[in-house]
Structure 1
Amino acid sequence: MPLSDLSRVTEVLTETLRLNITQRIDPSLAGVLNVTSLPPERAEGESNTVNLYMYHLAEDQQRRNLPGNRSDRAPVATKPMTLVLYYILTTHHSVRSQFDTITEQRLMGYALKTLHDFAVIGDDTEIAGVRLLPQDLRDRQNELEVSFRHVEPEDAVSYWSAEQSSTTRLSAYLDVRYALLEPDPPQRLPGIVLSLGAFVVDIQSPQIAASRSILEFVLPAIAGGGPQAVESSPARVGPPIPALPASNQLTLVGSNLASGQSREILLSNGRWRVRAPALPQVPIDLSLAANAAGEWAVDVRANTIGVTLDTSLDATLPGGGTVTLPLEPGIYTASIHTVKASAIQLGRLKEITDRSNAISFAVIPRVVGVSVVNVAERRIRIDLDASVDLTPATGLGLPGALEILVVVDSVSYTRHDPTVPGATFDIGEFLPNGSSAEVRLQFDPTTPGTYPVRVIVEGAESQPFWFEVP
């Protein structure tokens, strides 16, 4: 859980206790129950109070070596620090300065059941329709794990005797894993290696050795200007653009690619698996009207297969019906499913099939322009091709928000979250919206110069582009 404010974890736990006790266990306590996070001695004399106090924390020894950005100037600062948080749970109820131990024990039972029933708190965990994780902590692979610590009675006596000269108080001890302190954003980004390896393969099977494409871009005036076209491997393809006919052309290079009686190209992407869990690999089916009417095309030759991509792909679901999958920026894999032979046996069609290895390629967010929006606020807008949507809909059955990184003049910018109460769009942040992203620069946008612009979406980087200020 990348965060810099540890109190957010305590807030989630106290809200879980309050909601579950008042909404599910004992509704008569609604408006009466207090859930606090004070040191236990500060909660003495309170009524109908459940108190959860963080008394210790420690770095998790098993997760000390999480990867950071080793190419950065300060690689340690880009590595999150994993913490285990230790809490003590107590209950308090006094009536006219007199302890009510029966009520305290009942409240303790309610609190223990709550933390037992909600031992794991994630994006979709809710009570009475209220999600337990705040909006800004969702869709970031956050998950709190609550577990009770076994403390011997003698150890509990030692804890309380060290705190105050009174009888040991009824209490429970628990730890929460894992809280990750927010790392610094990387200041340098190395190139991406999509695949690397050596494998033992059947020489008769189709094998894909590489993916290739032609990457087209325009040099800045300081470098001579003019359009450039370079071969990219692994392939980096983009949306179809009439002025750039090679922009959506993917070439798979290998051996035995045309073998067998028939074959189909299978594509895979992590976000597609969320949209269509029944289709781990999606075939390019040109018999579907939407695919045939679009840009999709497949050209099979002995050692190469050319694939022309469109902005979305229709696929048939195993249970019937079709689904339309948008070709969002990101990392994809391609493989070949081949039917080597077929025969009728016992009245049924039997097929001998084979499948190639999977090879990676990137669908890039193509930058089409950069313009100054507000000089005083140092605000510029980076425009992408209209087919790209940086803020797609999210929700049930849909993947979460796109992972986006914007780098201008070798400086990485932080994504602004407008859902945080009181948040302001500050210098050093960017805000995606549809097919564009506004950026508040760390330099004056009227300063003459040539500034490289990089937009990276789900690991796929845009073509080279420069923001030129004459």
Structure 2
Amino acid sequence: MSLTDLSRVTLTLTELLRQVVARDTSVATIEFTAAPPDDTSGSMPNIISVHLFHTMEDPHGKNYLPPGGQGGAVPVQQTPLALCLYYVVTATSSVTEGGPSNRAAIEQRLLGFVARAFHDYPIITDSTVVPNVPPAPVNQPLLETVGLQGSDNVIKIVLRPVSVDDTINFWSAEQDRIARISLYYEVRVILFATPRVERAAPPVLSVAEFVSVSDRVAILRTRALTGFALPTGHPLADPTQPFRFFEASPARPALFPAGAAPPSVPPQNNRITFEGAGFQGDRVSLSLEGPMGVGNADPETRRARISISQSVNPEWEITADGVRISIGLRTTVTDEDGQTLTLYPGLYTARIIVGAQMANQSPVRFLETSSADCPFPVAPQIVTVDALAGPAAARPFRITLHGSYLRDALDVVLTVSGQRMIRDADLTVAGHFDFSNATPDRIDLTVDTTAFASPLAIQLVINGAEAAPAWGEF
């Protein structure tokens, strides 16, 4: 909680009294003021004064941490100032009917209203609302009426046990006033806003190796640009820009088959860039470990070395400049042993291996250094989500993937609008999905669209790697 204007606390107290008194009484001639109780000037015959007469620093507030919870030595101007505010509440009546006795009775009645109101609402937060009696309109939240909402402000009101002697001393400072019946309140804890920190360290967004010795090979981070298309009619959709993009680090590239991407898929979704140091030598290799299969075999966790220095896999469009290596992941790759492997979506780790050729060696030998393993997911790529003909209570949809690799050995989790689907061949039942018998790049599913509105949010996760956002429109 932080404030810059103490008067807003006083306005909150007077607004609370105004709303409660207006609801619980028929007295319509009351003015609520922050003026001191001896200032009886006002437009109404009855005045309730909520006067701030004293403030002091809360001793417990000296231990508060600065915003953000920084440790260590902190300039004093960055530590919060916690204040306790002290109010005297007095009722004054200038009603002439009934004489002084009637005025005293009115003042006592008004103070009773005050005591009841502050007793019923001892803590004021963003959600504090004084309920009204219908057909009167609903009141705004108290803090919203004075512009203190949305900052987690909490105002605590405590009735002070002031003794008779203290009361007499309060009213008899000049020894010319008789003590008036009053209520004394402590309002706490009010924190003053601190100046903005101009030289604070920025937040840590990623953790990596940033210090290297000599030519040590190190991967500092991986990044990938992921694009997706918003559903038709989305308020952020731009007809001139079919895709929206975000940069992911760690990277989450998609897996593409050979060939060009279809128009509904951003062509750069399969690219991943490794950034670091020492990516140069007589021989540079990328060592991948993840779900792969030899030829068309089912996937298993394997490690493959892929040459960066030689153009063995032109479809991967590998580029390297010594501090970064960028590749476009494809479903098939030829490793350094000449073996053709099939990649599947899932969780991978990668390391960069740099070899220096040893002189006067036959056959040729290399002295190799390697970076540490760097993990990242390889996601499936959704091409389209099509609504097929069928009843609304069991409407069929088809998800088409960019790549024909679906098989039972994969762990596939499909969620539609927050509802997890069950893999079952009976697609007449809503909530079921299964792989298409025609081609291994399609997932057929059935959804009860009477329970949802278009578009349906599609979440596809294969082997722990989540595809970019997609929607099913109907």
Shorter-chain TM band: 0.3 to 0.5
Higher share in strand: 1
- Flag the structure with larger Rg: 2
TM-score (norm 2): 0.47
